[in-house]
A and B are shown apart, each in its own frame.
Chain A
Amino acid sequence: MGRHRLSVIRKQSLVSGLPLPAFRLPLLALLLLLAWPWVTMNEVWAQETAVSPLLTGRIRDAQEQPIFDAQITAYSGAEVLAEGVSQEDGRYTLLLVAGDPIPDQISIRVERRHFRETTYELPNRAIESLRQSNLLHTPIITLERRITPGFWIATLIFVGMLALIALGKLHNTLAALLGTSLIFAVSYLGAPLYEGLYIFHFEDALRYIDWNVIFLIMGMMIVIAVVERTGVFQWTAYMAYRLSGGRTWLLVIILMIVTGVASAFLDNVTTMLLMTPVTIRIALSLGINPLALLMPEVMASNVVGISTLVGTPTNILIGSYGEIGFNDFLVNLTPGVVLALVGLIAYNLYIYRHDLQLSSAKGSVSEVLLQRLAERGRITEPEHLKKAGVVGAGMILLFVLGEKVDLLPAVTAVMGATALLVWIKPDIEEMIEAVDWTTLVFFMALFISVGAIQEVGLISFIASGIGQLVGDNLTLAMLAVIWLSAVLSTVIANIPFTAAMLPVIGFLSANIPGADSKVLFYCLSVGSAMGGNGSLIGASANMVTAGIAERAGSSITYMYFLKKGFPALVITVSLATIWLFIRF
């Protein structure tokens, strides 16, 4: 009270204290003018703070997945009461004008491309409740899918893209870019002529790109580019030969373990690019069939690569979508992978027993070649390797511990790559060139293509179909996901396949009792990666290995790979399936 009075006195003295009374009127006018915006703002504020009736709710599809970007309109007769848009989680909020009487009849209209327009009429008691409390939570509104010509075109484009990749008619990236361009061409040029052709717009497409995946892959590529130039692969392979002491069976086991461990932290393609030439040299030196070493290596690479989040692009995709961290993969998959590797080693030692024994009996070891092998089997950049080792260890630590502070793997990878570049100061142009931009563009275009079939509803239909087949049976769902993805990965490139399957797995995980443990994501990881062993085109690492072997006179034909690789698929996927059933 005292403070209030004091302020009044001060105001009076400010005006009355002026020497010339003639100035008082204009000054008051000026003060009023200056105060005017403040007064009007207060009026607006007063209007806004008056309680506005609020309508909230959620929009989802038939598979109980949230629908974002749906246009929601509350209306009464011809009068629009409020408008809004649903968010990522499908929630929406409509704010009615404060002070206006709430009409006796209110309807909520929901409009979204690729869905049927749906209207929900508020019951009388809901309107009464809104009048009393100014807040109403409406029931979940489920939208039904609408099959448009855009649906068929997006499906056709996606299947065409997969076919172009599988048949090798176009480079993966070019095929994905072609698919993306066609989707936009239809949406932007076709839809104005006929609305049903609409698929989605560029802004919507960007929403589907998983930047966590892009930055994680990019960061790891830079680290790999530094590591691969140090000669560590050549040294390791040579040490494997020395450790084996000329026992070829032991050499096979060591090379499989070395390749597997390398693949768990680096991408499989790079691992095989660097391991294959030196492995062929070892085989030539020992006078054995190079394929008896290469095939076990590439199979081990495909199997062991999935033991960590960063081991394969498919795991990176799965981890980002399913919010599965580095530790989760280690705990839930690595034991199964070890089990599968043991089976794989036994299988390879059996099928190549003649190749390995024959050479020992021949005693065809070339001393000249072994000498050359020893000369090249050394670390060429020890300082860089030490620094890469320190940074790599730090990154693994952050991958493991970062989950506690929500540190995304992509951030760790980019920080690690930057730290390494700052520390070793390489030629930055060379390092930038070492980043496989075509692969990154492939991923971006792929995300958009998968986004298109998700947008038009194809993924929902597939999810719904699988959901009906497996029902509430988690065991059946696990078997279906593992084996379907394993077999399909032998003919379809596993990256686009995995990307397309993720929303399906997300739906099944949300709807099958017990699947919230994310077990189906691990099933997808096992199937899509180990399925790569089923055929030559099943994994990029297979193609690279075959390409190098071919240039050293050892052909790995499609049939040869199928004959050796498919039984390996059956063995490893079976063992991993057993593990997943034990674990979950």
Chain B
Amino acid sequence: MDRRSFIKLTAVTGTGAALASCGNPENDFIRFIPDEMIVPGVAVWKPGVCSLCPAGCGLTVRVMDADADVVRDGQAGIVRIAAAKKLEGAPDHPVNHGGLCARGQAAIQVTYHPDRITQPLRRTGERGDGLYEAVSWDDALAEIVSRLDALEGAGNQGSLTYLTRVGRSHRAALVRDFLVRFGAPPPVAFEIFGDDVLRRANALSFGREQLPTFDLANAMYVLSFGADFLGTWNSPVAQNVAYGRMRQGRRGVRGAFAQVESRMSQTGASADEWVPVRPGTDGVLALGIAHLLMSTGAYPSDAAGRAGALIEGWAAGLPGYAPEDVERMTGLEAARVEGLARQFSDARPAVAIVGGAPLAHSNGLFTALAVNALNALVGAPGRDGGIFFTPQLDVAAAVQSGSPAQPAVALESLVTEGLAGGASPEVVFVDGANPVFTAPPAWRVREWLEQVPYIVSFGHFLDETSILADLILPDHSSLESWAEALPESGAVMAVASIAPPVMRPLHQTRATPDVLLEVGRMLGTPLALPWETFDELLGASLAGLPSASGSGALADARQAGVWSGELPAGLAVADSADTSPASVPVAFTAPEFDGDADEYPFHFLPYSSNAFLDGSLAHLPWLQEMPDPLTSAMWSSWVEINPVTAERLGISAGDVVEVTSAHGTVRTRVVVSPGIAPDLVAMPAGQGHRTFTRYASGRGENPVELLAPMTDAATGALAWAATRVRVTRVGPPDGRLILFAGSLREHGEEHR
């Protein structure tokens, strides 16, 4: 026996004796027991999966020893734990290839956040007061089970509603299975900056109801309609990796890139050509380009197949979209339309991207279908430098759950029905979603939730939605539990990002999938979910997948944090059944806006914040203090206004203004930006939380509070870019717009 083992042994035996005599000060011995074998000062690297957005990037987590205040088996003490220290992108991951965005870097602060909910809580005050008492897991689970049993006793299982976020994963599949077996409707997912319009368009155009993957690395020309694909949209790290290769990864070849948008995004800043068009007319430009491509004879109209047949007038070569027509509708000079068409035609392969604001208008589906048709015309689907659809693992088929898929209900219709006196849920489970913050106020989500008799939240933090909960069952962080995602896009091959826990839980939390499985077993009529724990489900799901090492796909994933490869027949999600062309081909309809143009002279554009996305990351201090790429603002909210407009309104940089729509008013500070159209004002989402930890509460303003409940006519999706506002100066700068670049000498270096 060497010295080290001897010390360990005495520590363990000594503490064992101490623990046996509970309540004794000798229990302080607990500090000598390491949680696991870890050599002080020596780092080990473990795989992980970033869970802050649905992209599913792989992580490599640096783990070292650290002293943590923990509670173990009811006892508080300092324990030497193996603690995550730094998150890096996993070098060989097929989505992020070693890269990691700012948000992913900050993901570690979720685990170590000082305002995390550390144990189950039961509400004691009024809803929204934030007064809770600690309860044991046994009591909490008994309470939730009795509520669900009561629903079953009344034959009212359908009145359980599960609010969650968009994202494909085994966890989502488990939730769905739980609900189906219980007899409840499928989960209700809501994203303010969601992509339902594009998914729907892709189902119609290409038979795949999912977000596309772009082979930018091999593209010669990229034409993006409003998609912030290098910042916040779709799979940003995968797209950054590919973008770098497109620009400088091929010897002597540099792909070109044009961005169509009327407020310069972080992505638009990298474009060779920046093309502002009137809001809601992006699809017209796409068809104008298609018209020119077809009129040269280089691209026959039938090359676009089904995607083209969805557009009215396509077979005739889109006669209504001559450059002059496009100029009249979009405000873009005919000569520039011709120039874009020439580049799109000459630089092969070319690919078009659409996402974000162009699809958030009343004619969003038309715009998406128009860009899809343009891509189909040049043969982009499935070719190098074009667009792909990442094959998707069909979890239901893989685990043979046999639960039939049911169409999901939209949050808006559920809320509207409930508030109109129709069916309203008896029990609501909230899992990661914060619709009170992210849904337009006109939907009255908070009012709807307040009339729900019983709300359970699985969240890590008190936010505007979970503060209404009667019971909080905090989840582990993604570093403390099995982390996984089934990326919808970002790779050409199928990907399952799966990694075991990186570290032991810091607090008295439990993994939500395991909680659901346990609740399923405890119910009066057990749900007979065939897995004891979540990792059994993962094992069952991956059992049918080929393994590179031969030791099984789950074992591979444990090692590498990812499985990627060819999906066996029967385990891939089939092409969308919705393959029939729309009965009536779609045509451009002028976008509709909420608010009279005289009273509300500006279009209003809320946008996904580079730091906080829709606001779900505003609680992380690193992201609060990260200067915004376009403005250098930190810890702040602002509204961007064109310099000419600002001068006309007598507004200077930093002034306090009121931005008012027909639905609300926010008071914020002005950034005068040359990168925005004179008839448009824009605000980043993310700030303006009333309740969301010490770092985000009461900070800045939420642009969603101004939004009208406008929808895309064809899909019913929220048209979040279709509100009009007016801007009124209230006063001089009040010091609440904080800029990092305020005192830096950044001028004078402008012509590099």
Binding between chains A and B: no
Binding site for B on A (CB under 8 A): none
Binding site for A on B (CB under 8 A): none
